[in-house]
Chains A and B, each alone.
Chain A
Amino acid sequence: MKARIGVVTFPGSLDDRDAARAVRLAGGEPVSLWHRDSDLAGVSAVVLPGGFSYGDYLRCGAIARFSPVMDAIIAAAGDGLPVLGICNGFQVLCESHLLPGALIRNDHRHFVCRDQALRIECTDTPWTRELTVGQTIVVPVKNGEGQYCADAATLAMLEAENRVVFRYTGGNPNGSAADIAGVRNAAGNVVGLMPHPEHAVEALTGPSTDGLALFTSVLRSLTRTGVPA
């Protein structure tokens, strides 16, 4: 039996199909979760995909955090459910206070879509287990509000506790503090990043297949912890 990974669709989610495809290519079974659902259909992990949830006319992710599905995810994340937030999903996780910091408008004030090199900083999460610290991966980045910011104390804490998971290398696309592209929570089960690993899972359509490792990592983590894979 394949591990079932939930992919949430908010109104305005855009990369939900891509996230589901990545789960499938990694060998898992994607399960569609609707923003109004208040139970998680027994999934073993959840992906919050990119997009503009509820239009994001307020702060990005500010409305999505109040959806019924987020209540369920916040509770399950506290119990150790692996959660990955990509782009808008990362913004939702920050708004939900599952991850520290915030994403603000890019320093150059433009939306930017390009192939981006990332340095892997932490493999002590269910989503990065199959990667190597110091390894460089190339995945697309695409956002208008992707500049990671946090106060000095939070940034120092993230570095001290090894909670920076991905760092931009070869150019910072949006002015993020300390080149931070993605972070994890203290327990490690919740990871958020602005770049899009789900767009780098096939040689035909992506700049690489580096992104697949995040999805195979979580499937392997689930096998290890006794959840059927």
Chain B
Amino acid sequence: MIDTVELAAKDPGLEQPWVELGLKADEYERIKEILGRRPTSCELAMYSVMWSEHCSYKSSKVHLRQFGDKRPDTEVLLVGMGENAGVVDVGQGYAVTFKVESHNHPSFVEPYQGAATGVGGIVRDILTMGARPVAVMDPLRFGPLDAPDTQRVLPGIVAGIGGYGNCLGLPNIGGEIVFDPSYLGNPLVNALCVGVMKHKDIKLAKASGPGNQVILFGARTGGDGIGGVSVLASETFDADKPSKRPSVQVGDPFAEKVLIECCLEIFAADLVVGIQDLGGAGLSCATTELASAGTGGMHVVLDRVPLRDPTLAPEEILMSESQERMCAIVEPVHVPAFLTICERWDVEAVVIGEVTDTGRLTVEWRGETVVDVPPATVAHDGPVYTRPLARPAAQDALNLDSATTLPRPTDGAGLRATLLQLLGSPNLCDKRWVTEQYDRYVLGNTVLAMPEDAGVLRIDDGSNLGIALSTDCNARFVQLDPYVGAQLALAEAYRNVATTGARPIAVTDCLNFGSPEDPGVMWQFAQAVTGLADGCLTLGVPVTGGNVSFYNQTGTTAILPTPVVGVLGVLDDVTRRVPMGFRADGEVILLLGETREELDGSEWAQVVHGHLGGRPPRVDLGAERALATVLVAGATQALFASAHDLSEGGLAQALAESCLRGGHGATVALPGDPFLALFAESTARVLVSVPSDRLAAVQTLAGAHGIPLHELGTVGGTALELGVCSIPLDELRAAHTATLPAAFG
């Protein structure tokens, strides 16, 4: 029996499964108030998915407003937050759109498909803006390397990212792989995509013009992913509840590849008024968002939706998160041309409805009206919570527990052993076992990819215009101080982009936290958002969009707060990019920036002592900005042979990586206390090597911007000579590369 609008009005007392759909009592009451009656089962389904934490940002909205309120004065922003992805101007008539999003819970339940569809979803967001997707990146977090569940989760997630991205033909140019016990029951799979278009080709998600046709195209709708956003993404896992496997979508990268080419041909022919992808919340999201952003009304005939499973109920069709689907608004005169292009690519396309000026979204099923709602109430008027927040009681004790008193190596042999131990530790070891499973060459525009500091792409063959992207977050620092930690994540990504010679211009973020119902987690979240918004204002880089992922915890234990920050930069001439590895014997090695006794939260404290406590390193955004200016100017003037950011593992790690990248040794005199010089994690520092005839120019440049400069030594030989100890490159390489193959085969 179909639950129609007529029936809902007649039978107000019917018991409805709002609890099972993840709604709270007051939210259900609010829906009844909006509609003046109980919702139909279809309407209830739509509200439940759209008012979920994942779609409505109900716990985060009050904090995220800061990204708008504190937005720096910048001319690069073409489309800001609220659309599928932000768009920025990179010059020469080009626009770049980029965003990072989470797919954490699906990837824990079903690692391969969860990660694969995470890539698929973010790629469609970028495509929806009118852009050709040109690259992906994946910031990942796992439990301890030696934990049995990491053996289950990591290979599946990596294969899923590769399987989907490789088959789409998108180079994977960077990301992160970090291990920490807090992610054991809740790994993080964040996926970033970047796309390029001309300014005039930007598309928006709006259904304007009464009489315009609503076309659903791409894959057929199936029973997969029903309730993905509400049941999976917006709740904590509970071992006692039934398996959530049916809530994970299944991906078909071939269908998405064809859909990309089909859409780009449709865009080139200028055939759409508005377009929206179907991701979380499926048709419920696409129809209500399109309608509320446009003229305001839409009529949809649900029977026309092509189905993989003909037994699906209308509620399921509205909630399904089947992948590789798009929804376009097309003027009637353009419909034949639109369908012809779809036919050429063998993409199924069906007119499922039209735009109206009624101000209502109405959905018809078997000749009866099953939905009749004001679309904005579904898409935008969801509940907004000001959740209670409180600094955790244990925070003071955590901050007092400094790493400075931990035992340190005292002689050359001890320093040598520590360096090798860190170099092979899970977070600092060579990640090729993972990154070799990703295609980094396809499309022929990859200039730098992992393990480089940032991924660098050429976007114009003729002018050599290029972009750089880096994602970063040291969640240990965020745990120690979420305000400072979020700024440190921003500073690191900003610095990584500048290290390649690119001018940082814009930010995306993926804010991964525990349960918003825990006041301590909400405090972390509020502090981190404020820190990030303030930091972006200081650095002059706007947040263009992103994603919030709550409920990342196992039982009552939250993950380390992990606000992953992605920074986009521009290289006017990408041939001037600076790689991370030493390039030739005789280059002079310089350290830019100041080293302090900053060991709290460091990899040394973690790896050697299993310690996390104290205060994170000082964040100095003024110094970061000045350093970036020096790096970009130096790259433009071709002063640097190589440049490599200092972060986790400090100078020791940076030196080892710069040596191993091209197989060049180095002889270095460590300034000050050798242990601090090697392992402190002070920020705003970069290691550079310069041809000796450029040394004076670099000194002048650094001096002009107040950047401290230490001459460390020279490139050459087959060992890393540190004065206090010497390590042959072969030994460094063996320590660096053995870890992941030993764990995963």
Contact = CB atoms under 8 A, between A and B. Distances in A.
Given A110-B159, A113-B437, A199 B254 contact: no
A112 B574 contact: no
A199 B346 contact: no
Nearest to B257: A12
B166 A15 contact: no
Contact of B444 (A17, A113, A114, A142): A17
B263 to A, nearest CB: 14
Interface stretch (A51-59, A94-102, A221-229): A51-59
Interface residues of A, number: 31
Interface string A27-62: 000000000000000000000001110111100000
A77 to B, nearest CB: 26
Nearest to B435: A113
Nearest to A112: B436
A204 B167 contact: no
Contact of B445 (A108, A142, A198, A205): A205
A127 B575 CA distance: 30
B167 A12 contact: yes
A16 B634 CA distance: 37
Given A110-B159, A204-B458, A12 B441 contact: no
A199 B167 contact: no
A144 to B, nearest CB: 8
Contact of B169 (A14, A112, A113, A144): A14
B254 A55 contact: yes
B394 interface: no
B163 interface: yes
A11 B163 contact: no
Nearest to A14: B169
Contacts of B162: 111
B446 interface: yes
Interface in A204-229: 204-206
Contacts of A56: 254
A124 interface: no
A130 interface: no
Given A15-B169, A204-B574, A52 B436 contact: no
B258 interface: yes
Interface in B587-609: none
A203 B574 CA distance: 12
Nearest to A18: B444
A205 B458 contact: yes
B447 A11 contact: no
A55 B167 contact: yes
A196 interface: yes
A171 B169 CA distance: 26
Contacts of B575: 204
B675 to A, nearest CB: 36
Contacts of B18: none
Given A55-B252, A112-B436, A204-B458, A18 B447 contact: no
A54 B255 CA distance: 9
A105 interface: no
A128 B383 CA distance: 66
Interface string A77-118: 000000000000000000000000000000010111110000
A202 B258 CA distance: 28
A21 interface: yes
A140 interface: yes
B192 to A, nearest CB: 19
B201 interface: no
Q: Considering residues A11, A17, A114, A144, which has the most beta carbons from chain B within 10 angstroms of its beta carbon? A: A11
Nearest to A199: B441
Interface in B165-186: 166-169
Contact of A111 (B346, B437, B445): B437
Contacts of A202: 444
A206 B449 CA distance: 11
Nearest to B457: A205
B438 interface: yes
B345 A52 contact: no
Nearest to A50: B442
A205 B167 contact: no
Contacts of B163: 111
A11 B346 contact: yes
A54 B254 contact: yes
B303 to A, nearest CB: 29
B443 interface: yes
B625 interface: no
Interface string B417-458: 000000000000000000011111111111100000000001
A204 B345 CA distance: 33
A140 B441 contact: yes
Given A113-B436, A113-B440, A114-B436, A57 B254 contact: yes
Contacts of B255: 55
Contact of B441 (A57, A142, A144): A142
A114 B433 CA distance: 11
A5 B97 CA distance: 34
A113 to B, nearest CB: 5
A21 B745 CA distance: 37
B252 A14 contact: no
A170 to B, nearest CB: 14
Contacts of A144: 166
A113 B254 contact: no
Contact of A17 (B159, B254, B440, B443): B443
Contacts of B253: 52, 55
Given A110-B437, A113-B437, A199 B258 contact: no
Contacts of B745: 108
Nearest to A53: B254
A154 to B, nearest CB: 29
A9 to B, nearest CB: 9
Given A17-B443, A198-B444, A11 B254 contact: yes
B458 to A, nearest CB: 7
A14 B461 CA distance: 18
A15 B445 CA distance: 12
B447 A113 contact: no
Interface string B704-727: 000000000000000000000000
A52 B167 CA distance: 6
Most buried by B among A50, A114, A201, A204: A204
A114 B436 CA distance: 6
A114 B435 CA distance: 9
A130 B507 CA distance: 48
Contacts of A142: 166, 439, 441-442
A179 B442 CA distance: 24
Contacts of B345: 11
Kindly name the residue among B345, B346, B436 whose own CB sees the greatest number of chain A CB atoms within 10 A: B436
A18 B162 CA distance: 20
Nearest to B169: A14
Given A12-B258, A51-B169, A52-B254, A205 B439 contact: no
Contacts of A111: 159, 162-163, 166, 437-439
Given A57-B254, A111-B437, 11 more contacts: A11-B254, A12-B258, A52-B167, A52-B253, A56-B254, A110-B437, A111-B438, A113-B437, A113-B439, A113-B441, A142-B439
Interface of A: 11-12, 14-15, 17-18, 21, 50-52, 54-57, 108, 110-114, 140, 142, 144, 196, 198-199, 201-202, 204-206
8 closest residue pairs by CB, A with B: A55-B254, A14-B169, A18-B444, A199-B441, A52-B167, A140-B441, A111-B437, A142-B439
19 contacts: A11-B257, A11-B261, A11-B345, A12-B167, A12-B254, A54-B254, A56-B254, A111-B166, A111-B439, A112-B437, A113-B437, A113-B440, A114-B436, A144-B166, A196-B441, A198-B444, A199-B442, A205-B441, A205-B458
